[in-house]
Copies of this chain bind each other. A is one copy, B any other.
Amino acid sequence: MIPDCFFDPGSIALVGAAHTDIKLGGIVLKNLLRFKGKVYPVNPKYNELMGLKAYASVEALPDSVDLAVIMRPAPEVPDILHQFKNKTTCAIVVSSGFAEVGETGLQDEVKRVGRETGIRIVGPNCMGVCNPSKRLDTFFLTYERMKRPRKGNVAVVSQSGALLICLFEVIKAWNIGLSKAIGYGNAVDIDVSDIFEYLSQDRATDVVISYIESVGDGRRFVESAKELSGKKSLVILKSGKGLSGQVAAYSHTGRLAGKYEVFHSVLQQFGIPEARDLDELVDATKALSYQMPVKGNRVCILTNGGGAGVLAADECMRQGLEIARLPEDKIKRLREMFPHFYGINNPLDLTAQVQDKEYLQVLEELHDDYDGFLIIAMAGVQGVSERLADLIKDFQVRTPKPLVFYTTLNTVSMRLKSLLEKARIPVFPSPERAIRGLRALLRQ
């Protein structure tokens, strides 16, 4: 398990701190000024950096620290770690220039020094950690360039810093909140399994999303993923699936990606959800951070646009979800309720002549017959209004079942989307993506 001091240190030493945010060491220092704890910048050229007393060396530090963040060139890293012996137990090595560029010897040395000194290491070649509740992050990106997500219930575990950023941007855009994030890079010591073990006990986290290029100890990984997915919602995106991707992954984090087919079948065996690509990861995250998953796979689709319903039904098939037929008595009742040109099937086609309240009427008739619902409301027609958000919100409160939404983007639907998402009903940008979101909420 990754030690507490990575996500919740009381004090941090930053080796390679700089005086300006033109330099990476200056960006990290500036960001650490927000941190609710002590920060010790280390740089022999300055007595003071950004208003903090600076220290000439690790030896000069007045005290031991909970966490060391190291941003000096790769060849200096082993020495710096040595200097931290008995001064810290946790270090993040941000520096790159190790196995990912062929410097495996240097990387092995970092690993060995870590073992000798008893210092646990995240990295090298990594972004480090982010914990919004402590205002802590070690990312070398300015707040001007990249705003951080708000506090929430989703943890991000990524081997790649780039993916961490991609995910942060999407998390913000999709109005999702963050509990913790970590970019662990080449993983000479702390690996995804250590992080999963920690997060399975983290009370702030309900959902864990993880981008993985390679796994060190396969057996431990499976154990930790199983444990985590028993306690929280876990979705994994594994890259390096083909040969090109594997070569790319190796030159990125210096670790072999392994045979993807093996990875995939192991996850499947243990029922651990896997995303096919970045969009799928994000769709699942949105659904899981908004709603609670349930057991079941019977889906009902309500639509006012036939074609969009057909595409959603196709996606259900691909996702192994069942578009179960409406019960006979319900068909009879709904036929009596609605005009003859409505399509009383599943998908249920309310046509372009739908009125808001008819969605609710159908939901109330069918809520016991299905495990999850997709509502498609093309807001181009006159009968769809913002009132639909209230109707569905009330229904959802009375009948908490997975319910996702798709609407096209125009002025009415932008407001509708905003109201729905305030009520924790996730709105997706295509019928198929809505079904992929719903899929994450329906466990087998």
Contact = CB atoms under 8 A, between A and B. Distances in A.
Interface in A66-98: 74, 96-97
Contact of A141 (B158, B340, B345, B380): B380
Contacts of A340: 97, 101
A240 B158 contact: no
B169 A409 contact: yes
Nearest to A321: B244
A378 interface: yes
Contact of A314 (B239, B253, B306, B317): B239
| Copies of this chain present | 2
A297 interface: no
A31 interface: no
Interface string A222-265: 00000000000000010111111101110111000000000000
A323 interface: yes
A323 B433 contact: no
A341 B244 CA distance: 20
Nearest to A141: B380
A311 interface: yes
Given A160-B307, A163-B307, A279-B430, A241 B317 contact: yes
Contact of A248 (B97, B309, B342): B309
Interface of A: 21-22, 24, 27, 74, 96-97, 100-101, 140-142, 144-147, 158-163, 165-166, 169, 173, 211, 213, 237, 239-245, 247-249, 251-253, 277-279, 303-311, 313-318, 323, 340-343, 345-347, 349, 351-353, 376, 378-382, 408-412, 430-433
